Amino acid sequence: MADLRANLPKYSLWLALALLAWFVIAAFGTKIGLIGWEIGFGFMTVTAGPWLIAVTGLVALAAFALAWTATPRGPWWKAAIALAIPAVLFLAMLSVRAGGAGAPPIHDVSTDLRNPPQFSAGTIAMRADQGANPLVDYGTPLGRMPLWAGRVDGDLAVQNHADVIAANYRDLQPIPVGNATREQAIAAVVAAMAEIGLDDIRTDAAAGRVEGVAETFAYGFRFDVVARITGTRIDLRSASRVGVGDLGYNADRVRALSEAIRRRLAES
């Protein structure tokens, strides 16, 4: 018992550091393609992560209690660090879940619900080659789409994407071009996409289309973004490549891009 009391703080710290390494591998191993997102995010983070946090936290708490009450007092600071690591990870997971708690289980959002902007043939082909989510039909009820069948029920099952977006993201509206020329509007979109951190920005002036790719810092989840520019308005669309829901990230991106575009149009 004396050996356990003396060494448990050290062991708990090793365990906490291993837990931290587990989540780093999950997040950045997925990002660089070392492991698939189903393993890195689905299993390592969502399924196994909470259990590992709980076990590590309990071991660290026991180690802290034993070290603090020992005579002479043991290396309690090691147990304190070990306890802080799962606590921070737990709070981070709670924060992410709370942020997306009210988001509907969709991953494709647009400012035009009747005729959402279309991605280029190149983007569609790339998504197909990478096994990404198929682009959705905004008029088909969720319950009749393979990705949502069995996952949604009740009123949500009979609603289509247009219904869900209208009910949850009423602030996502087309952007009036105003007095800006077509060229100025396209330039504003390109600059705005770069400002909010999109990569691989491509412009098709003839089609009035600008596309870009967003990527999350952790896990490297990618989202395709397209803007359609006409003589009177600009419509935006953002769609995830993987996953059923998006925790509201696509709507947040459309908001950020819309604000950046509006600001540039006001200055032109």
Express each pLDDT in 160-177 by its tens digit. 999 999 999 999 999 999
Sequence-ordered list of residues with C-beta below 8 angstroms from that of 63, at least 6 positions apart, any chain: 8, 9, 11, 12, 78, 79, 82
- Take residue 236 and report the two structure tokens written for it: 């935006």
Residue-level pLDDT at 4: 61
- CATH number of the domain located at residue range(s) 108-267 in this protein: 3.30.310.80
User: What span, in angstroms and rounded, lies between the C-alpha atoms of 191 and 207?
Assistant: 18
Residue-level pLDDT at 90: 95
Region 36-42: what's the mean pLDDT? 92
User: What span, in angstroms and rounded, lies between the C-alpha atoms of 178 and 170?
Assistant: 22
Tell me the pLDDT band of 1, cut-offs 50, 70 and 90.
low
Residue-level pLDDT at 111: 97
* Stated pTM of the model: 0.86
Q: Which residues pair with 108 in a beta bridge?
A: 239
**Residue 10 clears pLDDT 70, i.e. is over it:** yes
Region 32-38: what's the mean pLDDT? 91
* Dihedral pair phi/psi, residue 201, rounded to 5°: -75, 125
User: What span, in angstroms and rounded, lies between the C-alpha atoms of 185 and 262?
Assistant: 10
Residue-level pLDDT at 8: 87
- Take residue 168 and report the two structure tokens written for it: 């949850």
Is the omega angle on the peptide bond into residue 105 within 30 degrees of 0, that is, cis? Answer: no
> What DSSP line would sit under the chain, residue for residue?
-HHHHHHHHHHHHHHHHHHHHHHHIIIIIHHTTSS-HIIIIIIIIIISHHHHHHHHHHHHHHHHHHHHHSSS---HHHHHHHHHHHHHHHHHHHHHHHHTTTS-S--EEES-SSSPPPPPHHHHHHHHHTTPPPPPPTTS-GGGSTTTTTT--THHHH--HHHHHHHH-TT--PEE-TT--HHHHHHHHHHHHHHTT-EEEEEETTTTEEEEEEE-SSTT-EEEEEEEE-SSEEEEEEEESS-S--TTHHHHHHHHHHHHHHHHHHH-
**Residue 20 clears pLDDT 60, i.e. is over it:** yes
Closest CA to 182 of 238, 115, 236, 233: 233
**Residue 184 clears pLDDT 70, i.e. is over it:** yes
**Residue 144 clears pLDDT 70, i.e. is over it:** yes
Residue-level pLDDT at 222: 94
- Take residue 121 and report the two structure tokens written for it: 């043939």
Tell me the pLDDT band of 2, cut-offs 50, 70 and 90.
low
Express each pLDDT in 45-97 by its tens digit. 999 999 999 999 999 999 999 888 877 777 888 999 999 999 999 999 998 88
Express each pLDDT in 97-108 by its tens digit. 887 777 899 999
User: What span, in angstroms and rounded, lies between the C-alpha atoms of 115 and 197?
Assistant: 26
